Amino acid sequence: MTAHLSSQARSITARALLIVAVVSCQVIPPTVPTASAKEWQLVKINGRDYISDQNVRDFYRFDNLVKSGDERLFKHRTLVMRWKTGSQAVHINNILFNLSYPIAERGGKALISTIDLAKLVDPVLRPSYIKKPIRFNTVVIDAGHGAHDSGAKGIYGYEKNYNLDMSLRLKAALEKRGFKTRMTRTTDTFLSLSQRVAFANRVDNAIFISIHFNSSGSRRAAGIETYALAPQSTSSTNGGSSWSSFLNGNVHDAENIALATSVHAHVIHELKSTDRGIKRARFNVLRGINKPAILFEGGFVTNSTEAKRIKSEAYRDKLADTIANAVVKFQRAVGK
Ligand SMILES: [Zn+2]
């Protein structure tokens, strides 16, 4: 598993700030790796490989590692990472990510699984080190649901209509920024999930963003969620068993999480939305896709406060602009 982790460059790259520190205009100058930097030291727990908090601090050259009880705070000049023993939540600059495995504890150390280090922490802290830099000039926008598949029934309307309207606004916002766009649907029509994937897979030099709005039986449920495909042999955030098979979409694990981070962090900061976290799932539209892909849930149409916001054109415009800005930052972060 450590094969995925480059042992060459040992600092958080300045580009991490493009995707996680959208509030700060300041950029960390990359530090120069030294020969004395330590290699990864694996700790086996229940058959799984883990890396200690101290090892992570040393490798990424965090300025400081603060231990308080079960919590660990990794401090870099303008980037802070926080995790807690027993928890699957990790915060990077106050953005919530969901780990595939809880933080483990051994001998006073809080350890992270190598899968989470390779598939989440590393691509977020060092997006410029993603192995295969992708060049894209096109965004495939997928408006979820359509026709008889109305999606969630909201207080003021059906999800399928919000998805399409949002997608058209996103199309305009991206084109204003110089991107080409392709839409899986531009009208109230039905496409199966596999048709959406087949369409997206025919588009070259592109990334894929599926737009949805959320619903819940509980009127109190609120906030933004962004999904990236679950890595091989891990469970989805919302439960379900882990799959051992490697899916086509897993080729882009690193870019998927970096894209999810950029979009999610920008939206949380700009729209001051409730942060439900960056999550993992094996949605059909993410499984078979051959390009970096995310599924974005832009709030709950079943929550009275959020439904009011979603109903407003100003909110949908702001959301579209924010996602488009996040795509620009992602492109800069992963480009060579
Ligand atoms: Zn939906």
Helix H segments across the chain?
16-20, 53-60, 114-116, 122-125, 159-176, 193-201, 253-271, 284-287, 304-311, 313-334
- List C-alpha distances in Å: 67 to 54, 74, 109, 150: 10, 9, 9, 49
Q: Could you tell me what percent of the chain has a pLDDT over 70?
A: 88
CA of 163 to the centre of ligand 1 (A): 8
How do residues 293-334 score in pLDDT, each as one tens digit?
999 999 999 999 999 999 999 999 999 999 999 999 999 888
Euclidean distance between CA atoms 219 and 331, whole angstroms: 37
Q: How many CB atoms lie within 10 A of CB 190?
A: 12
CA of 159 to the centre of ligand 1 (A): 7
Who surrounds ion ligand 1 at CB < 5 A?
Answer: 144, 151, 212
Task: Find, among 109, 83, 107, 106, the residue nearest to 96 by Cα.
Answer: 83
CATH number of 2-127: 3.30.457.10
DSSP symbol at 121: I
How do residues 123-174 score in pLDDT, each as one tens digit?
888 887 776 667 899 999 999 999 999 999 999 999 999 999 999 999 999 9
Euclidean distance between CA atoms 60 and 213, whole angstroms: 36
As to burial, measured by CB atoms within 10 angstroms (0-12 exposed, 13-18 middle, 19+ buried), residue 36 is exposed
CA of 266 to the centre of ligand 1 (A): 21
E strand or H helix that includes residue 44: strand 42-45
Which is more confidently placed, 240 or 282?
Answer: 282
pLDDT for 216 beyond 70: yes
Architecture category of domain 138-334 in CATH? 3-Layer(aba) Sandwich (3.40)
pLDDT for 34 beyond 60: no
Question: What is the pLDDT, as a whole number, of residue 22?
Answer: 45
CA of 294 to the centre of ligand 1 (A): 13
DSSP letters along 131-185, please?
SS-----EEEEEE--BTTB---B-SSSBHHHHHHHHHHHHHHHHHHTT-EEEES-
Side chain identity at residue 71, one-letter code: E
Going by pLDDT thresholds of 50, 70 and 90, the confidence category of residue 27 is very low
CA of 7 to the centre of ligand 1 (A): 40
DSSP symbol at 220: T
Euclidean distance between CA atoms 233 and 244, whole angstroms: 4
CA of 214 to the centre of ligand 1 (A): 6
Question: What is the pLDDT, as a whole number, of residue 129?
Answer: 77
Task: Find, among 74, 70, 72, 71, the residue nearest to 61 by Cα.
Answer: 74
CA of 208 to the centre of ligand 1 (A): 16
Contact 163, 295 (CB under 8 A): no
* Distance from the first to the final alpha carbon of the chain: 25
CA of 215 to the centre of ligand 1 (A): 8
Mean pLDDT of 259-282: 95
- Which residues are within 8 A (CB) of 192 and not within 5 positions of it... i.e. 6 or more apart? none
How do residues 79-96 score in pLDDT, each as one tens digit?
999 999 999 999 999 999
Three-state DSSP state, 3: helix
Question: What is the pLDDT, as a whole number, of residue 183?
Answer: 98
What are the sequence ranges of the domains in the chain?
2-127, 138-334
- List C-alpha distances in Å: 229 to 5, 242, 281: 19, 12, 5
CA of 295 to the centre of ligand 1 (A): 9
CA of 156 to the centre of ligand 1 (A): 16
